[in-house]
Amino acid sequence: MIDHAALAETIRRHEAAQGQPISRLGYFCAPFRPAEGPFSEHVIKVYRGLPDAGALDRLAAAHDDYVAALRETGVPLPETTFLLLESEGARVPVIVQEALPEASLMRPRMQAEGLEATLEMMEAAGQVIARFWNAADRFDTRIGFHPSIRN
């Protein structure tokens, strides 16, 4: 269970020190990994809040559906929690995800390893993507899947 007060304080400290840089997509602030504290082994992604409580509830349900679909189709996913964090009288969508070891991420591995290993990683990623899309028609909800090879 996530301590909401500790998470809110972690986000507040990060924003005070780093600001709140918006991702290139513009939907959320750039993810961050705290250097210390109770969330130092997690990546935190803060989304823009909405004034529509119903829309926030639908967003939370859609995220739960998405994570369930990823897990059901065998897409590797670190422990991930979506929550609506109370902040200044509003609910703000926040994702807290277990941080993966740098050595397991494809991008640094592709940069450090040779062509053969890179092609094997690309093939493995393609198989995961294909497995998801081959099974996507069995879900009753609208979901998408657009992984980035570079991440």
Per-residue pLDDT tens digits for 42-51? 999 998 888 8
Token pair 């990060």 is found at 14
Q: What is the pLDDT of residue 26?
A: 58
Q: What is the pLDDT of residue 149?
A: 66
Checking if the pLDDT of 150 tops 70, the result is no
- What average pLDDT score do residues 117-137 get? 92
CB atoms within 10 A of CB 19: 10
Q: What is the pLDDT of residue 85?
A: 94
Q: What is the pLDDT of residue 15?
A: 85
Q: What is the pLDDT of residue 11?
A: 92
Q: What is the pLDDT of residue 47?
A: 87
Choose between 3 and 17: higher pLDDT: 3
Burial 130-140 (b: 16+ CB within 10 A, else e): eebeeeeeeee
- pTM of the full structure: 0.84
Choose between 33 and 50: higher pLDDT: 33
Q: What is the pLDDT of residue 82?
A: 95
| CA–CA dist 116, 81 (Å, integer) | 35
Checking if the pLDDT of 23 tops 60, the result is no
- What average pLDDT score do residues 112-123 get? 94
Checking if the pLDDT of 102 tops 70, the result is yes
Q: What is the pLDDT of residue 17?
A: 85
Q: What is the pLDDT of residue 136?
A: 87
| CA–CA dist 82, 131 (Å, integer) | 24
- What average pLDDT score do residues 84-92 get? 88
Secondary element (H or E) of residue 45 = strand 42-46
The pair of three-digit structure tokens given for residue 33, joined into one six-digit string: 């990994």
| DSSP secondary structure, 22-47, as one string | BPTTSSBBPPB--SSSTTTTEEEEEB
3-class secondary-structure state, position 52? coil
